[in-house]
Amino acid sequence: MSISGKSRIYGLLGDPVAHSLSPLMHNVAFNQRNIDAVYVPFHVSPGELSAAVDGLRALNVAGVNVTIPHKEAILPFLNEVDSAARLIGAVNTVVNDDGRLVGYNTDSSGFLRSICHELNFQPDDKCVVLLGAGGACRAAVVALAGAGVGQIVIVNRSLERAEKLVQSFSPRFPNVDFLAYDYSDKDYLSALSHADLIVNTTSVGLHGEEISFLPLEHIKGSALIYDMIYSATETPFIKSVQTAGWLCADGLGMLAAQGEDAFFLWTGVRLPAGYMKKILVQR
């Protein structure tokens, strides 16, 4: 599709952006769906974020994704932030509604759609162990707690960070039983043994490292395992749990699903689950 004076412009604000797969996902989808729009990466350094957000209004950019390091920093520059994104404290999608910039978090909704679609996870009253306590973990907590899981165990290298998350989320989700451990706590092993879903939300594995803090011998055979990290050839962690027989998936599906949710917010077109993952797998 060629760009005309009527084409709508979408994009990505981040630093760096050169590696991003989002332009591919969105441009292929715009093309396949005959939507007159284009998606471009904008390299924005932290000191330029405020000017870049003003630029979105000035240039009538219809919407953007937001990635590292701006997901939290962008909140004060927006006109409105949806309630889930505010709870998570991070925005990864912005819709420009006639100059009013509204922030959403589709990492959270995309994570939930990915585990339900790829692992057939059914949240009701389930016990979930989340490894890590950063921004990705917060997005997972809000998705899982909102979907009705019974227990969320947050396990982190720095216990204090996990405890802080539990303190902030417990009052918001009174029906969920929250626990916080570090990896040396023996109660962590007991939580692992009855977990229905275990999620790596840490950054470990991003550069091909093994996950040393998840003893597989404690995990029940029926547990589902998800790694938010993704790579072109599956992460070492996913390879090892798959070989050992657990049902598992890596974070490529989450990347794709957050893109599908952003696409819906921007265009009103609901792509079927797995649509953008197919684009990524075929790249």
Q: Which of 157, 164, 194, 218 forms a contact with ligand NDP (CB under 6 A)?
A: 157
Cα dihedral across residues 112, 118, 122, 125: positive or negative: negative
d(CA 169, CA 184) in angstroms, rounded, equals 23
Q: Between residues 11 and 259, which has the closer beta carbon with respect to ligand NDP?
A: 259
User: Among residues 49, 135, 153, 181, which is the contact residue for ligand NDP, using CB under 6 A?
Assistant: 135
Query: Does residue 251 touch ligand NDP according to CB under 6 A?
Result: yes
62 versus 143: smaller Cβ distance to ligand NDP: 143
Assess 229 for contact with ligand NDP (CB under 6 A): yes
Q: Which of 60, 119, 65 is nearest to 250 (CA)?
A: 119
Nearer to ligand NDP, 152 or 228 (CB): 228
Q: Is 88 in the site for ligand NDP (CB under 6 A)?
A: no
The rounded distance, in Å, linking the Cα atoms of 230 and 257 is 13
Is there binding between residue 107 and ligand NDP (CB under 6 A)? yes
Q: Which residue has the tokens 């699903």?
A: 257
If one asks whether residue 194 binds ligand NDP (CB under 6 A), the answer comes out as no
Among 136, 140, 143, 225, binds ligand NDP (CB under 6 A): 136
71 as an active site residue: the answer is yes
Q: What is the 3-state secondary structure (H, E, C) of 14-46?
A: ECCCCCCCHHHHHHHHHHHCCCCEEEEEEECCH
Q: Where are the beta strands (DSSP E) in the chain?
A: 8-14, 37-43, 63-66, 80-81, 93-97, 100-104, 127-131, 151-155, 177-181, 197-200, 224-227, 247-250
| Per CB under 6 A, 230 contacts ligand NDP | yes
Q: Which of 29, 64, 127, 133 binds ligand NDP (CB under 6 A)?
A: 133
Nearest alpha-carbon partner for 212 in 190, 236, 244: 236
Residue with Cβ nearer ligand NDP (74 or 255):
255
Binding site residues, ligand NDP, CB under 6 A: 107, 132-137, 156-158, 161, 201-204, 206, 213, 228-230, 251, 254-255, 258
